[in-house]
Amino acid sequence: MFDEFVLAASTAELAAEPRAREDADAVEFRMDLADDPLAQLDDYGGELPIIATNRAAWEGGEAEEIDRYDALSLAAADGSVAAVDVELAALRGNVPAGEASLATALRETAREADVRVIASVHDFESTPTVGALGDLLADAAAEGDVAKLATTATAPADALSMIRATHEATAAGHRVATMCMGEPGRHTRAVTPVYGSRIGYAPVDAADATAPGQYPLATLRELVDGLREGTSKNGTRSSLP
C-alpha cells in the first residue's frame, strides 16, 4: 500500500464506507472521534482498507488518554486495517513521559502484522521553511513507512514551500503524504500528489471535515486524477518515483 497515491475517506463511522467506495481507495477511521471504535472494527464488512487514526489531543485530535495505543494495537491486528497513524513526536519521545515506548511498541506490533505505519506531524499555526519541512519529512520517513506532514498556510508562499518540500523529499526516496491546511493552502491537497504525495484525505460527508480546508471527497478525486493525468501526459512526473 502507498506505492501509488491513495485517497482516504475520513470518517468516524465505518458504516459510511459504502458511500465512499466510488471515489476513495481507503477509509481513514478516526477512532478518536468515533463511538465504540473497536466494536465498529469488529462489525466492519466493507471493501476499502482502513487507515486507523487515534489522534492525540496534543496533536489536534480528541484522544486524551494514553490507552489510545492499546486501541491502535488492537486495530493493527484487525485484517481490515492496512495502516496505522502514529505521531512523530511520540515516536521521537518529544511528548510527556511514557509515550515513546508505547509508540515504538505499537510500531513493532503493526509491522509484525504487515500493517504500514504513517508517522505524522501537524502544525496548526504555520508552515516552516522549505529546509525545515524537508527535515521533518526525513525524520518522519525514518520512523515510519510514510511521512505525513500537514501544516497551516497563511499565505500562498507557504503552499509553494510545501510543494517544493514534497518534490525534494520524493526525489530523495522518501514516501510522503503532504498538504497545507487553511484556505491559502487548500489547493495543495490536489497539487502535492503531482509531486509525489502518496495520501490525500477528504471527508465522506463534507459537513464532517476533520481538518481545515478539506475538499469534498468526489471533488478531490476529480482534481487529483485530472492533474496527475495531465502532468503525466506532459511528462512532468517522469523524474518522480
- Rounded-to-integer distance, Cα 207 and Cα 102, Å: 34
Q: What share of the chain is helix, strand, coil (3-state, %, to 5)?
A: 45, 20, 35
Helices (H) and strands (E) in the chain, counts: 9, 8
Output phi, psi for 205, to 5 deg.
-115, 125
Q: Which of 122, 167, 174, 187 is catalytic?
A: 122
Q: Is 167 a catalytic residue?
A: no
Q: Are 33 and 210 in contact (CB under 8 A)?
A: yes
Name the grid cell of 65. 488518554
Q: Is 233 a catalytic residue?
A: no
List residues with catalytic annotation: 122, 148
